[in-house]
Amino acid sequence: MSRITECFNNLKNQGRKALIPYVTAGDPDPKVTLPLMHALVESGADILELGIPFSDPMADGPVIQLACERALLHGTRLLDVLDMVAEFRKTDQTTPVVLMGYLNPIEVMGYQAFAEKASAAGVDGVLTVDLPPEEAIEFNRLMRESNVDVIYLLAPTTEEERVKQVCDAGSGYVYYVSVKGVTGSASLNVAEVAEKVEMIRRHTDLPIGVGFGIRDDESARAISEVADGVIVGSVLVNKIAELSSNQEQIPEAVAAITASMRQAMDK
């Protein structure tokens, strides 16, 4: 059983939902990422999504685009991100880590090499925004052989027939994008999300995480009532940006946001 599956099973048995924070690896400096990851876990995060810096993150809004730029200024590469996960695993063998990013860095490394290195580092899942299931047959095979889950996005505009196809191709959990827009979008309609999540559940037994547009305790709690996981990114990355000149404050300040969300979700 994968760490991701075990995590969701344990939470379900406790009657709780997963809190899944996203941060961009190397932002604002590579030396901040590891202590930030540990601080997030200590604050109640169940799964970590670690962004691979990329020069053209087309699904992301300006907040995460700028995070990628800050990370790339330090030359943060995919190999560096894998090294961060390996270092994290020296003291945390439990918390699932999902890499989220775009295909180009993986293509450059090569699917086989990436699968082997990701597995060796302790990566549990990969979400590649611009790799649809139809183009991922070889990638999925190599990931499965390396015991790494392949996680896919579903959008509000995804047709029901397509939902089943995407869910059948994925593992770990399904990432439902709750708004028609990029990360950091503000218009979150919980009733519409609930309706869509209910439809997705008809086609998969995978847990459903919801992200995009979750920015405070209220929205985190509301989404936790209809989904299996609450994915939060831009509000955390924005706090990192605010403190980029006071980097020693970042882990505590960002963890305070997730701790408050965790408390709201558990009420």
Active site residues: 49, 60
Radius of gyration of the chain (CA): 17
End-to-end CA distance of the chain: give it in Å, rounded.
29
* Backbone phi and psi for residue 19, each to the nearest 5 degrees, phi listed first: -105, 120
Q: Coil, strand or helix: which one is 153?
A: strand
Would you state the structure tokens that stand for residue 95, as one six-digit string? 């918390």
Residue 101 identity (one-letter amino acid): G
d(CA 46, CA 172): 13
Query: Which residues does residue 175 pair with via DSSP β-bridges, in sequence order?
Result: 153, 209
For every residue of 85-147, which 3-state class applies, written as one string? HHHHHCCCCCCCEEEEECHHHHHHHCHHHHHHHHHHHCCCEEEECCCCHHHCHHHHHHHHHCC
| Tokens 């087309």, residue located | 58
CA 47 from chain centre, in angstroms, equals 8
Cβ(227)–Cβ(199) below 8 Å: no
Find, among 40, 66, 41, the residue nearest to 53 by Cα. Answer: 66
